[in-house]
């Protein structure tokens, strides 16, 4: 799938969701009808698209409609976080065919083994040879060139792990490693049927916070692919102390251990609530969110304050990259959503520098809780089937 036009046409057919005709493809891509016919012929030969119904439009000859063949390719994705390992099987249309979530086992050996077992099981669900590869999403920082995960937070036994090669050895599949938040951003871009124009900020709320950026459908990931590590952006000069020595850093303002600590101090959750391991912290955070939902004043105050600080950070970064849309996802998003959404509306109205020029929409992830794993699998499909500007440079012609 090296041909740029071929990828462009396939991408349009995939995103259209409904069947499209060759004439419509010519109109949206700007390619000639002859070029479209040639490209579609190759896509039909490769089995990536299928012809369906004939459409009668006006007096011209009926148009044969085309649609993607979702079973023409599959990708596997795994997302590792301190609490759980999620594995998904995606088809070419981006539909989740199967998924599983298991508690994160102790140590990287056991995690590799757990993912490999799920991968082996899911591969039996689709024809042999149709799986394009495996994507693994892990907390940053990562070294994508070497395929290594380097001291992931809250996973102290990990150290520096050559995760990509170990997953490839364990599964026999081509494997890529991506930072969780960048993978989640790819999932959003891959799943959207609308056009991918504009500049988007993706905010990932897990145990901490991560940011990713995309412009015109391309993720901007930086020189070492770790862009977005701005946990030490100061969003509240009177905020909580951070280990870096400053006060009110964004990361510490929304970190699970900090919010749970405030809930314990404020008597919102019992003082003996276990909160040592990531799993315990996650459960304690769920109690805090439930208390806030029940209207417990102290709980609401904690999450509203976190929402305001987060909104402040989002507005600063939105201004920095002049984004016109913000997408928020990750395991902690649903718990913070009610408090963040209202705070963000006020913050954008009052402080965003671009507010006179354009509005900024803040939406929840379309992909939901599985976004990290779906993103890792999407990244594999994306590498294989999506036209990128870098490809255009490498292949300036083509038909
Ligand atoms: Zn800090």
Residue 1 confidence (pLDDT) above 50: no
Buried-exposed string 18-36: b where 16+ CB fall within 10 A, e elsewhere: ebbbbebbbeebebeeebb
- Ligand 1 centroid, distance to 230 Cα (angstroms): 9
The 10s digit of each residue's pLDDT in 157-200 is 888 999 999 999 999 999 999 998 989 888 888 776 555 678 99
Contact, 217 vs 11, CB < 8 A? no
More confidently predicted of 188 and 387: 188
Residue at token pair 């349009």:
12
- Ligand 1 centroid, distance to 371 Cα (angstroms): 27
Task: Kindly report the CATH number assigned to the domain that includes residue 321.
Answer: 3.30.420.40
- Ligand 1 centroid, distance to 253 Cα (angstroms): 9
Distance from C-alpha of 336 to C-alpha of 355, rounded to nearest angstrom: 24
Length of the chain: 399
Residues 233 and 303 in one domain: yes
Residues 236 and 345 in one domain: yes
Residues 358 and 377 in one domain: no
Residue 395: predicted pLDDT: 39
Residue 91: name the closest of 127, 120, 118 by CA. 127
Residue 8 — pLDDT band, cuts 50, 70, 90?
A: confident
Instruction: Say which residues have a Cβ less than 8 Å from residue 68's Cβ, sequence separation at least 6.
Output: 10, 13, 14, 48, 49, 50, 92, 93
- Ligand 1 centroid, distance to 342 Cα (angstroms): 25
Task: Kindly report the CATH number assigned to the domain that includes residue 14.
Answer: 1.10.10.10
The 10s digit of each residue's pLDDT in 363-381 is 888 787 788 999 999 989 8
Helix (H) or strand (E) holding 219, with range, is strand 218-220
Question: If DSSP codes are grouped into helix, strand and coil, which group holds residue 283?
Answer: helix
- Ligand 1 centroid, distance to 56 Cα (angstroms): 63
Q: How many CB atoms lie within 10 A of CB 279?
A: 14
- Ligand 1 centroid, distance to 294 Cα (angstroms): 32
Contact, 63 vs 120, CB < 8 A? no
Residues 258 and 311 in one domain: yes
Structurally, the chain folds into a number of domains equal to 3
- Ligand 1 centroid, distance to 279 Cα (angstroms): 24
- Ligand 1 centroid, distance to 231 Cα (angstroms): 7
What Rg do the C-alpha atoms of the chain give, in angstroms?
23
- Ligand 1 centroid, distance to 234 Cα (angstroms): 7
Residues 345 and 211 in one domain: yes
42, 68, 94: which is the final residue of a domain?
68
* Average of per-residue pLDDT across 28-43: 90
Angle at 227 between CA 331 and CA 94, to 5 degrees: 50
Residues 294 and 236 in one domain: yes
Residue at token pair 């993607």:
68
Residues 150 and 47 in one domain: no
Distance from C-alpha of 167 to C-alpha of 21, rounded to nearest angstrom: 41
Tokens encoding 367: 């992909």
In a domain, 269, yes or no: yes
Residues 175 and 275 in one domain: no
Distance from C-alpha of 97 to C-alpha of 258, rounded to nearest angstrom: 37
- What is the domain extent for residue 52? 4-68
Distance from C-alpha of 188 to C-alpha of 111, rounded to nearest angstrom: 26
Residues 215 and 343 in one domain: yes
Residue 394 confidence (pLDDT) above 70: no
Residues 316 and 210 in one domain: yes
- Ligand 1 centroid, distance to 180 Cα (angstroms): 21
In a domain, 54, yes or no: yes
DSSP 368: G
In a domain, 392, yes or no: no
Residues 265 and 171 in one domain: no
- Ligand 1 centroid, distance to 307 Cα (angstroms): 18
68, 88, 105: which is the final residue of a domain?
68
Q: How many CB atoms lie within 10 A of CB 74?
A: 24
| C-alpha dihedral sign at 251, 252, 253, 254 | positive
20, 35, 68: which is the final residue of a domain?
68
Residues 168 and 125 in one domain: yes
Residue 285 confidence (pLDDT) above 90: yes
Residues with CB under 5 A from ligand 1 (ion): 232, 242, 244, 246, 249
The 10s digit of each residue's pLDDT in 64-102 is 889 889 898 999 999 999 889 999 999 998 899 999 999
The 10s digit of each residue's pLDDT in 213-252 is 998 888 888 888 888 888 999 999 999 999 999 999 999 9
Distance from C-alpha of 70 to C-alpha of 92, rounded to nearest angstrom: 5
The 10s digit of each residue's pLDDT in 218-229 is 888 888 888 888
- Ligand 1 centroid, distance to 233 Cα (angstroms): 7
């Amino acid at each position: 799938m090296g041909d740029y036009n071929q990828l462009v046409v396939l991408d349009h057919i995939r995103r259209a969701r409904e069947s499209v005709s060759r004439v419509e493809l010519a109109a949206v891509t700007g390619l000639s009808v002859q070029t479209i016919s040639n490209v579609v012929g190759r896509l039909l030969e490769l089995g990536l698209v299928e012809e369906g119904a004939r459409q009668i439009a006006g007096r011209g000859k009926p148009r044969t409609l085309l649609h993607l063949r979702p079973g023409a390719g599959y990708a596997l994705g795994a997302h590792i976080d301190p609490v759980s390992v999620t594995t998904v099987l995606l088809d070419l249309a981006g539909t989740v065919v199967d998924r599983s979530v298991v508690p994160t086992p102790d140590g990287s050996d056991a995690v590799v083994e757990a993912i490999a077992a799920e991968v082996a099981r899911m591969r039996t669900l689709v024809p042999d040879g149709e799986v394009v590869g495996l994507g693994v999403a892990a907390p940053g920082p990562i070294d994508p060139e070497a395929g290594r995960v380097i001291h992931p937070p809250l996973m102290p036994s990990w150290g520096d792990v050559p995760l990509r090669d170990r997953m490839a050895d364990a599964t026999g599949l081509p494997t890529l490693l991506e930072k969780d938040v960048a993978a989640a951003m790819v999932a959003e871009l891959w799943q959207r049927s609308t056009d991918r124009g504009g500049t988007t900020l993706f905010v990932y709320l897990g145990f901490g916070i991560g940011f990713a950026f995309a412009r015109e459908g391309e993720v901007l990931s930086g020189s070492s692919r770790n862009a977005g590590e701005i946990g030490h952006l100061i969003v509240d000069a009177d905020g909580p102390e951070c280990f870096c020595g400053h006060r009110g850093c964004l990361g510490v303002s929304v970190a699970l251990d900090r919010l749970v600590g405030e809930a314990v101090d404020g008597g919102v959750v019992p003082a003996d609530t276990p909160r040592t391991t990531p799993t315990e912290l996650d459960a304690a955070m769920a109690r805090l969110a439930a208390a806030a939902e029940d209207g417990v004043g102290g709980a609401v105050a904690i999450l509203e304050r976190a929402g305001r600080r987060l909104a402040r950070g989002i507005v600063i970064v939105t201004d920095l990259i002049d984004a016109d849309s913000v997408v928020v996802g990750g395991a902690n998003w649903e718990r913070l959503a009610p408090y963040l959404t209202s705070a963000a509306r006020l913050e954008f109205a009052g402080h965003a520098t671009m507010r006179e020029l354009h509005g900024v929409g803040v939406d929840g992830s379309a992909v939901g809780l599985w976004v990290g794993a779906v993103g890792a699998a999407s990244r594999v499909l994306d590498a294989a089937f999506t036209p990128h500007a870098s490809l255009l440079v490498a292949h300036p012609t083509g038909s």
